Structure 1
């Protein structure tokens, strides 16, 4: 802070220009004229300080090939001499006014030439959100205001407005830095919750661990997780209870106490409110035949674990849970790859895994002499694999991915890897949605549709939809919500039924080849599509159906791609 004050006392500032954003590529200081002929001296480009301010709408700025999304009411300092282009919030460079480019020089007292390297008290290429927004609008209005004749008083007022703008940005940057430090402390408290959720926890205790005041702690906690602290704690406890209800036959009281609830009746009430049914009803309806029995005798489980240490392991996987197994760091000997192997996003991880055929050919699997067969099939009996002479454990497709991942991890001795993946994924998802906050309206709804040939399907709360429906992201449309309530993974619909699944956004998935992509685009040109609210709003997003697989590996790779899917509209 002392260095900042010393800099401000030893330098002065001169406004060069103020330009509105429009269509086309800007290059600050494009003249390229040097301040003097000596090549060692900085050029004009190097000496121009440039700040982009978004006052009218959010937008995207391309900085030498790197895309940065900025919210309305924010600013960013551009690197001297660099090239950049601006897109308006509508998603195209239409020339709409999104904001302003302010250019100025910095001089050291006593020097006649400006210094190079930009304004050192603000970071390069980092969004600065300005609060209150009215203060930013006021200073921008004064610095951009035109007057008849550019007399000395007008020039002086503009210079004063430039100084006020720099002070406003510095204040907000310093406040943001303080919030970043507080957010890091709150993240440590969130990690503490994950490790100690079975213990009594209070908001005061967690705020003390973070070293942040209670009010600020609760607000930052909500921003980072989408939930209030006690709601977040209860969600972790209830999700873990759901896993235990599926995987054990422990009494309800013991399950409640093991996840941190001291009152069985309170646990029952919270569980029913969150999942829509009582814990006992969930256990009765949710368990498969395999999960009602001990998964493996202890001795056999120990032998299986010890055999699954090589690459590839003596494990065979049938169905979409292959991505779960791979995310735990275990590579099976065989898997069902005939169709899935051509579609999944993790094809680079399939080398060395033998294809056991569609549905899992029993003889092929038996020849591999597996120690364990993991099955994700509905309507296929474990007896189908009897010739393999290996334990067969099956999982329902409708099981929650974290429940399934932990159950698989328990068999493979990879509980730590499962816990780490779940924690890492939750952090990455929250971080992604926080970055997208300016691009999604409060309460926006979404529906995921999949086109396969001439057939059209709507998804429930599975695949891509499971990532989209997030406390900081989208809510499910009314039609999609009804599917999820009825535990339907998907439903085939006709074009006439589309209005029943309309939402603020529609995500249309296609098979991935050019023909399927053309067919999907042709579908959106029909009158049924063009009558939809999402179509009229320009909120139809198209992407490949490979992102609709319901395993942990696909979900993890989806997060960095999702912002690009949201930026692509038809």
Structure 2
């Protein structure tokens, strides 16, 4: 640990209004002039500094300056201080060797420190004197941090990156884009463009994201009140903080804190896979009269709620503390009034990006420490399966079909849908040419009779959707047709039926089970 060579000791602070046209100034101590309002100039033998609101000027001891006011008086804080050297080898900081301007951004932060120092100016008790000393040291640190010399040949992008690091450190201060651009010494229009290029967000949205992440940490690790947390991270208004927090996280700060407890009672229809992967057993699971339950999750002892026939009122008896829904829930009208039972978190579930969804749920439930192991285990499984399949079915084509009483649906390639990213991207299987004909932004396509005849894939994975069946097994009538029986995969007995809800799911456990199913028949 390094040793301090000097400290700065405050001598006086005053709030001064200068109204005379010209005033000479010299002092035996260092002086700081910090302008609150007004306009004028400060002249030395060598230069002239224009004085205006939010300007700061350092004046070394025994320097002679002239202060000229303009049309209105200059209102300023005047601080004098001296340096106390703590070692024999010392030299004054280069920042204070000449009369010069100093940068103070954001100025609101500087103003708060000045007001705190000024309030203590007549203190007699030791506690208040010490508080003034601490606040003055904070002000000096603030000045030093803002006025470090810019590295030689630093380009605009490096300057913006440096300001982003500064933002992470001082997110609690009141920032504007103009202040950040000035801090980086980059034009505002260019600053915002470079900032978004680096972070993907505009500056103030990024700042709010930093603050919300800090708030989440404080909600999990302290018993501080929400109001105290909002103040400490830079939100002066608790209502505004609550609104921003809910926009980012999906639930209120209080609900987030409760969700971090080990006894969270959650109902998350169609999202159970993610909770089970994180070691959380939901208090109830969704079911569907035609589709059944997600048996692969092993939730046999967890009661099920039929979302199709409006059994959600039964949830009242299970006393959920959190209900999590994704956008797909809108198709089930019975789930649209669950807010009467418990706080609802509306999750933006991007489907194919299951890692993002898993992280959001882990974050909400305090399980982020498990993420790395879960993902590494899955990726290890993928690599092992890929090596096996690369030898056993190299060059053989594969397709996935969802079959119902109203038709046959072919699922898309490696970028879209429940199955393509696993079969073709993760496992490296070869899609049938018909799969490539599905538009890139489409997850599936209905097959006409002519298209089905063209489906000469070497291997077919199929699942049956009973939703539209009027009588039992109606969805299977296609299997009796000559058109079906003449398919290459059917003739060679390379058709593999898989569980509907296991394969029609984006969860990591679902994907892991798909890999098992593929290996069982192709490995």
State the TM-score bracket (shorter-chain normalisation).
0.3 to 0.5
Structure showing greater Rg: 2
Normalised by the length of structure 1, the TM-score is 0.42
